[in-house]
Amino acid sequence: MSSSNKREREIAREKYERQQQRRVQEEQARRRRNQIIAAIAGLAVVGGTLAALLINHNANTPVTPAASPTPSASASASASASASASASPAALVCPKGPAPTTKKDSWPAAPTTSLDANKTYTMNLATNCGDIKIELLQKAAPVTTSSEVFLTDQGYYNLADCFRLTTQGIFVVQCGSPTNDAQNGPGYTVPDENLPADGSNNYPAGTVAMANAGAGTAGSQFFIVYKDTTLPPSYTIWGKVVSGLDVVTKVAGVGVQGGGADGKPAQPFVITKATTTTSG
């Protein structure tokens, strides 16, 4: 074999190896992209959410993961049903609620008063679709629950829009933005607490957890899980619905505006008044 032919074959082999290496790198990059999209995109919410496309508009924009971009057939059917429902005004199932208001109050730091570990605290959400009662988990999430009681007592959740619904991949409704649009918070953040284990359905139906824009950034926005959901173990669980989960399910059944799987509920869903009660 001539030296020139040998060199030509070496060059061809080297070119082939470079092409293969480039293909491997491109495939790895594609997989990473897909993992990021599946794990954090779309929500912002919210989600956004939410599995989750965390659209973090700014450092004070809590969000939950958004729905998975590769739904099962049953999830697709559910989304189609939601789309059909949201397209018809007859699908609305709640009385018209009052207009949400913008909250301008802001505080420099979270409250330092702790809740009594031996008492039972309940957050009562009166909404245009029905009442929801949330039992607080102050032993497991003392800072977060103290903040939630403080904000409730300040009227922060009165006339507050539940501005995001996710009906595919994850199953949550999100509330608590002072501007009713997934933006901003009360001026302070609370640390992550009571994070679940990583695993299937680690946020079961009835769970109430904080939305966030990353570790240690939770403020006032929270989400209610209305159907068993799997999420990264990144969202503080601070309460559980003890009454009224059917209210959230009813809203979810109407679907998302425009027929999508993640966005503003087609059925307007407004917290008219939030209060806390204590017993024990």
- The string of pLDDT tens digits covering residues 107-130 is 999 999 999 999 999 999 999 999
pLDDT number for residue 100: 97
Q: How far apart are CA 52 and CA 63, in angstroms?
A: 9
Q: Of 170, 161, 153, 128, whose CA–CA distance to 274 is shortest? A: 153
What distance in Å separates the CA atoms of residue 122 and residue 177, rounded to the nearest whole number?
21
Counting residues of the chain whose pLDDT is more than 70, the rounded percentage is: 68
The three-class DSSP label of residue 166 is strand
| Amino acid at residue number 80 | S
User: Which of 76 and 124 is assigned the larger pLDDT?
Assistant: 124
- 170 and 91 Cβ atoms separated by less than 8 Å: no
* Per-residue pLDDT at 229 exceeds 80: yes
Distance between CA atoms of residues 178 and 105, nearest Å: 9
For the cut 50, the answer to whether the pLDDT of residue 262 exceeds it is yes
Q: Is the pLDDT of residue 67 over 80?
A: no
Query: Was domain 73-279 assigned CATH 3.40.50.300?
Result: no
> Percent of the chain at pLDDT above 90?
67
